[in-house]
Structure 1
Amino acid sequence: MTVKIGLIGAGGIAQSHINALKKVEQAKIVTVFDLNTEGAQKTAAALGARVTESADALLNPEEIDAVFICVPQFARGDLEEIAAKRGIHVFVEKPLGLELESVGRKEQAIREGGILTSVGYVLRYYDTVQQAKQYLQDKTVHLIQAFRIGGSHPAPWWKQQHMSNGNLGDAVTHQVDMIRYLVGEYKEVTAQFGRNTIKTQNPEATIPDAGAVTFSMESGAVGTITESCISTYHSGSEIKIIGPNFFLQLTGNGKTLTIIDDQQNITITSKQDPVYEQDKAFVEAVAAGSGEAILCGYADGMRTLAFTLAAYKAAEERDTVTI
C-alpha cells in the first residue's frame, strides 16, 4: 500500500522529513502547504506534488492518508482536530503546544477519531536508546543528571516565550522526554530560570537563557536538568542514569551509549538515522493500520509537555509542583 502524505510546512524541519520519506518505499508526498508560497512551490516541484491554497484544503481524506504537521507550535491552531475528524492520520512535531487545555482537546479528538498519531520525539528511535531502555527494565535508579547546552534557534519567534515555550519547552524537551521514556513518569518538580545574558544581548526576547530543574519520579528516583541556549564555546547534551550497581550515560542526544557494571564497560555509537526510523515506523503503521511500531503517540507526548509547563509554573510560584 502506498501511503499518500500531505505536508503542512516546508521549512527546515519539513526538509528533514522529506529527505527521510524519500527513502521509505511506501511513502508518497502528494500535497504541500506553507504560508510561504514560494517555498511551498519549490518543495512541491521537487517532489512532483501539488500545492494547496490552505492547510484546510490539504486536509482532504480523498487525497491523503496521513499528514505531517511541521509548523511551529504556536501556528498549528486546530489542525490535529480537523485531521482527526476527517480520519487522517497525524505526525506532528514536538512540542505539542504551549498549554495543556488545547492539547487536551486535540488528544480527545484524536481518541474519538481513532486515528494513528506520532509525535516527533525522534531520539527514542536510536538503537542506543532502545538498548538503554531494555537494560534499565529491571534496574533500580536513584539519580538522574541531565543537561543540554548550546545556541539559540535563529527564528525570531523562538525567542518569545509565548510562542516557543523557551529552550526547555522546545529543545530540551528531548531530554525531558527521554528521561520519561527510560525511567518512568515524573512526580514533582521545582525550577529556577535566569535571564542574565539574553536581556542585554536581545532585549526583545522573553525566554530565559538558562534553567535549573530538579525533579522526583514516581519510582522514587530524583534528578536534575540544567540547560542554556546562549553558550558560545561549549555545547552538547548528556543524560546520566545511576543505580547502586550500574552507570548508564547517553550523550550526543542519545547517539552514544555507555554502560558500566560488574560485567561490562561498553560504549556504543549509533549509525542509525533516527528521523528515517521514526518516519518509516509511522508510514508503515498507517499502511498496516496498527500503531505498535510508533514509539510516541499524542497522549504520550502530552505527558512530556506537562512536565515542561509544571517546571515553568514551579519557577513562577517558587514552589514544588506536582505533575
Structure 2
Amino acid sequence: MTVKIGMIGAGGIARSHINALKKVEQAKIVSIFDLNTAGAQEAAALVGARVAESADALLNPQEIDAVFICVPQFARGELEEIAAKRGIHIFVEKPLGLELAPVRQKEQTIRESGVINAAGYVLRYFDTVQKVKQYLEGKTIHLIQAFRIGGSHPAPWWSQLHMSGGNLGDAVTHQIDMIRYLAGEYKDVTAQFGRNSLQTLKPETTIPDAGAVSFSLQSGAVGTITESCLSTHFSGSEIKFIGADFMVNITGNGRTVSIIDNTQNITITSRQDPSYVQDKAFVEAVASGSRESILCSYADGINTLAFTIAAYQAAEKRSTISL
C-alpha cells in the first residue's frame, strides 16, 4: 500500500521529514502547504508534489492518507482536530503545544477518531536508546544528571516565550522526554530560570537564557536538568543514569551511549538516521493499521509537555509542582 502524505510546513524540520520520507518505499508526498509560498514550491519540487492553496485544502481525505504537521507550535490552531475528524492519520512535531488544556482537547478528538497518530520525539528511535531502555529495565536508578547547552534558533518567534516555550520547551524537550521514556514518569519539579545575558544583549526577547530544573520520578529517583540557549563556545547534551552498581551515559542527543557496570565498560555510537526510522515506523503503521511500531503517540507526548509547563510554573511560584 502506498501512503499518500500531505506536509503542512516547509521549513527546516519539514525538510528533514521530506528527506527521510523519500527513502521510505511506501511513502509518497503528494501535497505541501506553507504560508511561505516560495518555500513550499521549493520543497514540493524535491518530491514532485503539488503546492496546496491552504492547510484546509491540503487536509482532503480524498487526496491524502496522512499528514505531517511541521509548523511551529504557536501556529497550529485546530489542524490536528480537523485532520482527525476527516479521518486523516496524524504525525505532529514536538512540542505538541504551549498550554495543556487545548492539547488535551486535541488528544481527545484524535483518540475518539481512531486515526493513527505520533509525536515527533525522534530520539526514541535510535538503536542506542533502545539498547539503553532494555538495559535499564528492572534496574534501580537513584540519580539522573542531564544538560543541553547550545545556541538559539534563528527564527524571530523562537525568542518569544509565548510562541516557542523557550529552549526548555522547544529543544530540551528531547532530554525531558528521554528521561521519562527510559526511567519512568515524573513526580514533581522545581526550577529557576535566568536572563543574565539576554536582558543586556537582546532585551526584546522574553525567553530565559538559562535554566536549572530539579525533579523526582515516581520511582523515587531524583535528578537535575540544566540548559542554556546562549552559549558561543560550548554546545552539547548529556544524560547520566546512575545506580548503585551501574552508570549509563547518553551523549550527542542519543547517538552515543556508554554502559559501565561490574561486568562491562562499553561505548556504542549509532549509525542510524533516527528521522528515517521514525518516519518509516509511522508510514508502516498507517499502511498496516497497527500502532506497534510507533514509539511516541500524541497522548504520550502530552506528559512531556506537562513537565515543561510545570517547570515554568514552579519557577514563577517558587514552589514544587506535582505532576
What TM-score comes out, normalization by structure 2 length? 0.99
* Displacement after TM superposition at 1:46 (Å): 2.6
* Displacement after TM superposition at 1:250 (Å): 0.2
1:241 aligns with 2:241: yes
1:221 aligns with 2:221: yes
Structure 2 matches for 1:1-323, cutoff 5 A? 1-323=1-323
- AA paired with 1:261? D
| Count of aligned residue pairs for this structure pair | 323
Could you say what the CA RMSD is over the residues aligned between the two structures, in angstroms? 0.5
CA distance in 2, matches of 1:71, 1:41: 16
CA distance in 1, matches of 2:144, 2:250: 11
* Displacement after TM superposition at 1:52 (Å): 1.1
- AA paired with 1:185? E
* SS at 1:224 equivalent: strand
* Deviation digits for residues 177-201 of structure 1 (CA, Å, limit 9, x no counterpart): 0000000000000000000001111
* Displacement after TM superposition at 1:118 (Å): 1.0
CA distance in 2, matches of 1:46, 1:185: 40
* Deviation digits for residues 90-134 of structure 1 (CA, Å, limit 9, x no counterpart): 011000000001000100000110011111100000000000000
CA distance in 2, matches of 1:180, 1:284: 25
* SS at 2:253 equivalent: coil
CA distance in 2, matches of 1:312, 1:319: 10
Contact between 2:211 and 2:227, CA under 8 Å: does it hold in 1?
A: yes
* Displacement after TM superposition at 1:45 (Å): 2.4
CA distance in 1, matches of 2:225, 2:33: 37
* Displacement after TM superposition at 1:43 (Å): 1.6
* Displacement after TM superposition at 1:150 (Å): 0.3
Contact between 2:22 and 2:47, CA under 8 Å: does it hold in 1?
A: no
CA distance in 1, matches of 2:246, 2:45: 52
CA distance in 2, matches of 1:233, 1:48: 41
CA distance in 2, matches of 1:43, 1:268: 35
* SS at 1:169 equivalent: helix
* SS at 2:254 equivalent: coil
Note the residue ranges of structure 1 that are not aligned, 5 or more in a row.
none
CA distance in 2, matches of 1:159, 1:222: 30
* Deviation digits for residues 138-185 of structure 1 (CA, Å, limit 9, x no counterpart): 100000000000000000100000000000000000000000000000
CA distance in 2, matches of 1:15, 1:188: 36
* SS at 1:96 equivalent: coil
* SS at 1:144 equivalent: strand
Note the residue ranges of structure 2 that are not aligned, 5 or more in a row.
none
- AA paired with 1:216? S
* Deviation digits for residues 4-44 of structure 1 (CA, Å, limit 9, x no counterpart): 00000001111110000000000000011000111111221
* SS at 1:30 equivalent: strand
What TM-score comes out, normalization by structure 1 length? 0.99
Q: Which runs of 4+ in 1 moved over 6 A?
A: none
* Deviation digits for residues 183-239 of structure 1 (CA, Å, limit 9, x no counterpart): 000000000000000111111100000000000000000000000000011110000
Contact between 2:6 and 2:58, CA under 8 Å: does it hold in 1?
A: yes
CA distance in 2, matches of 1:100, 1:129: 27
CA distance in 2, matches of 1:321, 1:45: 48
CA distance in 1, matches of 2:297, 2:303: 10
* SS at 1:253 equivalent: helix
CA distance in 2, matches of 1:133, 1:113: 31
Identity value in percent: 76
CA distance in 2, matches of 1:156, 1:319: 31
CA distance in 1, matches of 2:290, 2:59: 21
CA distance in 1, matches of 2:259, 2:45: 47
* Displacement after TM superposition at 1:304 (Å): 0.2
CA distance in 2, matches of 1:15, 1:207: 26
- AA paired with 1:133? K
* SS at 1:7 equivalent: strand
- AA paired with 1:295? L
CA distance in 2, matches of 1:47, 1:187: 45
CA distance in 2, matches of 1:122, 1:200: 35
